[in-house]
């Protein structure tokens, strides 16, 4: 079933190769009337770190920037070119908390949308259970205003501002 709400094709009308007008190719792609280029708009890869310490506390962050500024989040973000999801989640944890990830274990993924500079970016958010050295203390950096450890039995998914993280935290608590 095709989902059209916030589809990126609503914002893209011209071919990036030759500038001619795009026309619909199928439900997943446009093609160029000028050069024939077929463009598939695929989701971007993003990661989410689930870090639980030896006291069964979840590391949560407070978002310093929009979207959802001031709400809870988990460390993570977009993968860079030429980097695996595991490398991406480790880099994001280091950038946002100053902590080094020593091990990653894939948990699950969820589709999401992320409003960036007025544009809706479709993502696949890969959740990873990440290990950090025992006793490591996070220090907020980058787009994180605050980091804190929250006992797992006190984590409330409704306090998380991003849809996929809220759903993911709910799934983690239920398991």
Q: Is the pLDDT of residue 115 over 60?
A: yes
Closest CA to 111 of 51, 56, 43, 39: 43
Q: What is the pLDDT of residues 30-82, one digit of tens each?
A: 999 999 999 998 999 999 999 999 999 999 999 999 999 999 999 999 999 99
Q: Which residues pair with 14 in a beta bridge?
A: 21
H or E stretch covering 123: strand 119-131
Q: What is the pLDDT of residues 145-154, one digit of tens each?
A: 999 999 999 9
pTM confidence score: 0.90
Laid out side by side, the sheet with 57-63 consists of: 72-73, 57-63, 144-151
Distances (CA, A) of 78 to 84, 87, 106: 11, 11, 16
Share of the chain above pLDDT 90, in %: 79
pLDDT, residue 107, reads 98
Q: What is the pLDDT of residues 69-97, one digit of tens each?
A: 999 999 999 999 999 999 999 999 999 99
Q: Is the pLDDT of residue 1 over 60?
A: no
Average pLDDT over residues 111-121: 86
Q: Is the pLDDT of residue 5 over 60?
A: no
The pLDDT mean for the chain works out to 93
Q: Is the pLDDT of residue 159 over 60?
A: yes
The residue that leads in pLDDT, 115 or 74, is 74
pLDDT, residue 11, reads 79
Q: Is the pLDDT of residue 8 over 90?
A: no
Domains plus CATH for the chain? 9-40 (no CATH), 44-174 (3.90.79.10)
pLDDT, residue 6, reads 62
């Amino acid at each position: 079933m095709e989902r059209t709400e916030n589809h990126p094709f609503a914002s893209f009308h011209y071919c990036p190769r030759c500038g001619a007008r795009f026309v619909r190719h199928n439900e997943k792609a446009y093609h160029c009337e000028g050069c024939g280029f077929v463009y598939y708009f695929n989701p971007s890869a993003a990661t989410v770190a689930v870090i639980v310490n030896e006291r069964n506390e979840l590391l949560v962050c407070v978002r310093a920037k929009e979207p959802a500024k001031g709400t809870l989040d988990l460390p993570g973000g977009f993968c860079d070119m030429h980097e695996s999801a595991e490398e991406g989640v480790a880099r994001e944890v280091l950038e946002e908390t100053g902590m080094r990830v020593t091990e990653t274990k894939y948990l699950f993924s969820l589709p999401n949308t992320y409003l960036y500079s007025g544009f809706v970016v479709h993502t696949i958010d890969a959740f990873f259970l990440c290990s950090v050295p025992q006793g490591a203390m996070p220090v907020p950096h980058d787009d994180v205003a605050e980091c804190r450890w929250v006992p797992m039995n006190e984590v409330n998914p409704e306090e998380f501002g991003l849809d996929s993280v809220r759903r993911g935290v709910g799934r983690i608590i239920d398991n």
